[in-house]
Chain A
Amino acid sequence: MTDGQEKAIVVSDLRRVYHTSKGILRKTRQAVEAVKGISFDVEFGELFGLVGPNGAGKTTTIKMLTTLLTPTSGTAKVLGFDIVEDVVEIRRRIGIIFGGERGLYYRVSGRENLRYFADLYGVPMSKREKRIAELLDMVGLSDRADSKVEEYSRGMKQRLHIAKGLINDPQLVFMDEPTIGLDPQAARDTRAMIKQLVEKSKTILLTTHYMFEADELCRRIGVISNGEIVALDTPAGLKRFVKDITVIEVEAFGIVDTDILNLRRRPEVKSVSANLEGERQTMRIQTPKGSEFIPEVTKLLSAAKIFDIRTKEPTLEDAYLRLVS
C-alpha cells in the first residue's frame, strides 16, 4: 500500500470538465464544469454520504473515484491508490452499486449474472460458488437465483445489484442512489443491508437525495451543490445551519407560484420549498420568526384554502435546502 493509507478516500481539489459539441455541420463546443475542485476524505469503516440536487456533481464524483472517469485536474486516492495511475488495484478492491433498473443481464439468471462478475473480478474458482451462495442468501434471493432477471421485481433486481456489488468482497463500496425507485419496504430492506455492511467494517460512500436516508445512515455528510462542496459535517452538525430557524409547514390548496415568490421576497423568510402538485399542496417556510410569522403567512396565502399550518423543528432536509438554494 502506498501513503495516505490512514484514510479510505482522500480527495484533493478534484475537477471535471465535460466538453459537448452541438450541431452537425458547424460544431460549437461547450465546456461544462461538473465538479469544480472538491476536497474531502473518508475514514475507514465510515459510512459517508454525498448529497445534492440532480446535476450537482455527485455521480461525476463517484465515477471519478471508481476509475470510470479521469479527472480534468486534482488528485484522489482510494485505499491509498491513485485514481489515474493505479486503476486496476482500485478496481480489485472496490464494489459499486448504482441504483436503477439497468445494469444486469436480463436474459440470464441472477446466479449467472453473479458468476460472470465473479469471473471478471477474478474470484478464485474454488471460492466462487460458495461466495455466490452466501451473497444470494444475504440478499434473500436464494430461491429465485436461477430465474431470469427479467422476471424479477424492482426490489429483487436491486438486491441482486447489491449482491453483485459485493461479489469481490470489497473493502470499500460505492453506492449511487441505491434506494431510488424502490417501494418503501424494499427501500427499508436496502437500508438495513447497508447498515449490516458497516457492521462488517466495510467503508461505504453513498450518494442520495433523500435527506432522511442520509440522516439515518451516515456518520458524516458532504453537501454538494453546483459542483462544489458547500458543507461537510455530521448530520447534527449540519442541522446547526438551521438551528436558528423554525419551519412553518403549510398544507393547502390553491397556492400558486406568485405566492412562493412573494414569500421569498420577505426578509424574514430564509427559504421556501413547495410541492404544488395534487390537491394537498405542501409548503415549508424557513424563518427565524417562528410561530409569530404564521399570521403573515396566512395573509399572503389568503387566496388559497389552508387545511393545516403548524411549526416544526428543522430537519436535515431543511439544512440541505438552505445550503443548496
Chain B
Amino acid sequence: MTKLQTISGSFRMSLLHFFADPQWIIPNIIAPFVFTIVALVLFGNVSTSVALYAVLGGGMMGMWGNTLYGSGFALAFDRWNGTIEYVLATPSRLVWIIAGRSASNAVLGLVNALAIVLVVVIGYGTLFVVANPVLFILALIVTLASLSALGVIFCSAFLLSRSAQVMTNGLEMPIYVATGSMFPIALLPLWSHPISLSLGPTWGIDAMRYASDAAYSGLGFGYWTDLLVVAASTAIYMAIGFWLFVVVEKKVRRDATLTEY
C-alpha cells in the first residue's frame, strides 16, 4: 500500500515539474525527433504504414531518450535542489521513489510520438489507423513499465559511479539501433541479435506493431509472446534495480557522497 503511494507521489511530482518547465524535455527528445523526421524523408513516399512505422519508432525513441536522461538524472536533480537528504530520510525506499519518476519520464517520452504525429499529419497530410487499439494500449503500457524499470537501473548506476554518467551519452544511440525502432533488427549483424533481444523495448515495439498492423510479421513470435517477454524483462530489471539500490543506499550512508555532484 505504501509502495504504491510512494510511486504515485513520485510520479505526480515528476509530472508537476514537467509542466512547470516543459522546455527541459527538449534535450531528451530532440535526437529522436530529428532522427524520425530524417527517416520520413528517407522513406520518401509516406504511406499510412510508413507513417505508423515512423510514429511508433519515434515514440519508442522518445520514450527511451527521456527515460535515459530523465531517470539517470532523477536523483541528480534532487542533489542540485538540496532536497536529497530529505528524500533519503523518509521511510520510503529510494527504489520506489525512482520507479515513480522513471515511469513519469517514460510516459512523457510519448510527447515525442505526439510531435511526430503532428508532423506526419500536418507535413505529409497522412493519417493512420491502429488495427487493434486495446491490444495496442496494453502493449504500450507494458513497454512503458519495462522502460521505467530500465530507468531505475540507470539511476542507481549514476549514483554508484560518477563515470556511469558516460553511460547516458553512450547508450542513447546504441539503443535506437539495437531495439529496431526504425528498421528490423534482422538487418543488424548476427552477433548483435542477442543484445537486441535481451532488451524489453525491442519486444515491446514488435508487439505494438502487431497490434497496429494486421499484416505485420516482425520477430515472428506473435503478439502474446512478445508481451510475455516484455513483462518478464520488467520483472528482471526491477529485481536488478532493487538490488542495486540496496547497494546504493548503503554506500551513500557510508561514504557521505550525497551532496557531492
Taking A68-B253, A119-B8 as contacts, is the C-beta distance between A107 and B90 under 8 angstroms?
no
A interface residues, how many (CB within 8 angstroms): 35
Question: In this assembly, does A70 line the interface, its C-beta being within 8 Å of a C-beta of chain B?
Answer: yes
Cβ A91 vs Cβ B83 within 8 A: no
Q: Which residues on the B side are within 8 Å of A118 (C-beta)?
A: 9
Question: In this assembly, does B256 line the interface, its C-beta being within 8 Å of a C-beta of chain A?
Answer: yes
Q: Which residues on the B side are within 8 Å of A40 (C-beta)?
A: none
Contact of A121 among B16, B81, B92 (CB under 8 A): B92
Nearest to B8 among chain A residues (CB) is: A119
Cβ A103 vs Cβ B97 within 8 A: no
Given the complex of chains A and B, what is the CA–CA distance between A103 and B83 in angstroms?
4
Cβ B17 vs Cβ A105 within 8 A: yes
Question: In this assembly, does A299 line the interface, its C-beta being within 8 Å of a C-beta of chain B?
Answer: no
Cβ A103 vs Cβ B82 within 8 A: yes
B-side interface residues toward A, CB under 8 Å?
2, 5-6, 8-10, 12-13, 16-17, 20-21, 81-83, 85-92, 97, 250, 253-256, 258
Taking A18-B256, A103-B83 as contacts, is the C-beta distance between A112 and B89 under 8 angstroms?
no
The minimal Cβ–Cβ distance linking B16 to chain A, given in whole angstroms, is 5
Cβ A117 vs Cβ B16 within 8 A: no
Q: Which residues on the B side are within 8 Å of A18 (C-beta)?
A: 256
The minimal Cβ–Cβ distance linking A265 to chain B, given in whole angstroms, is 40
Contact of A68 among B2, B5, B92, B258 (CB under 8 A): B258
The minimal Cβ–Cβ distance linking B224 to chain A, given in whole angstroms, is 35
Contact of A67 among B9, B20, B89, B255 (CB under 8 A): B89
The minimal Cβ–Cβ distance linking B93 to chain A, given in whole angstroms, is 8
Q: Identify the interface centre among A19, A105, A115: most chain B CB within 10 Å of its CB.
A: A105
Cβ B81 vs Cβ A102 within 8 A: yes
Cβ B13 vs Cβ A112 within 8 A: yes
The minimal Cβ–Cβ distance linking A259 to chain B, given in whole angstroms, is 40
Q: Is the interface of B mostly helix, strand, loop or mixed?
A: helix
Taking A102-B81, A107-B17 as contacts, is the C-beta distance between A117 and B258 under 8 angstroms?
no
Q: Which residues on the A side are within 8 Å of B92 (C-beta)?
A: 119-122
Top-10 shortest CB links A-B: A102-B82, A119-B9, A107-B20, A120-B90, A91-B91, A122-B2, A120-B92, A92-B91, A70-B253, A116-B13
Besides A100-B82, A164-B86, 6 other CB < 8 A contacts? A94-B89, A105-B81, A112-B16, A121-B90, A122-B92, A125-B5
Cβ B5 vs Cβ A108 within 8 A: no
Taking A107-B21, A112-B16, A116-B9 as contacts, is the C-beta distance between A68 and B87 under 8 angstroms?
no
Contact of B88 among A19, A68, A117 (CB under 8 A): A68
Cβ B83 vs Cβ A104 within 8 A: yes
Cβ A88 vs Cβ B13 within 8 A: no
Of residues 142 through 164 on chain A, the ones whose CB sits less than 8 Å from some CB of chain B are: 148, 164
**27 pairs across A/B with beta carbons < 8 Å?**
A18-B256, A63-B256, A66-B89, A67-B89, A69-B254, A92-B91, A94-B89, A96-B89, A102-B82, A103-B86, A104-B83, A105-B13, A105-B17, A105-B81, A106-B81, A107-B17, A108-B17, A116-B13, A119-B5, A119-B10, A119-B12, A120-B90, A121-B92, A122-B6, A122-B91, A125-B5, A164-B86
Contact of B97 among A69, A115, A120 (CB under 8 A): A120
The minimal Cβ–Cβ distance linking B242 to chain A, given in whole angstroms, is 15
Given the complex of chains A and B, what is the CA–CA distance between A102 and B86 in angstroms?
11
Taking A105-B17, A107-B17, A108-B17 as contacts, is the C-beta distance between A117 and B86 under 8 angstroms?
yes
Contact of B89 among A70, A91, A107 (CB under 8 A): A91
The minimal Cβ–Cβ distance linking A105 to chain B, given in whole angstroms, is 6
The minimal Cβ–Cβ distance linking B6 to chain A, given in whole angstroms, is 6
Question: In this assembly, does A98 line the interface, its C-beta being within 8 Å of a C-beta of chain B?
Answer: yes
Q: Which residues on the A side are within 8 Å of B253 (C-beta)?
A: 67-70
Given the complex of chains A and B, what is the CA–CA distance between A108 and B13 in angstroms?
8
The minimal Cβ–Cβ distance linking B50 to chain A, given in whole angstroms, is 40
Q: Which residues on the A side are within 8 Å of B8 (C-beta)?
A: 119
Q: Which residues on the A side are within 8 Å of B250 (C-beta)?
A: 70
Given the complex of chains A and B, what is the CA–CA distance between A204 and B256 in angstroms?
24
Q: Which residues on the A side are within 8 Å of B10 (C-beta)?
A: 116, 119-120
The minimal Cβ–Cβ distance linking A37 to chain B, given in whole angstroms, is 18
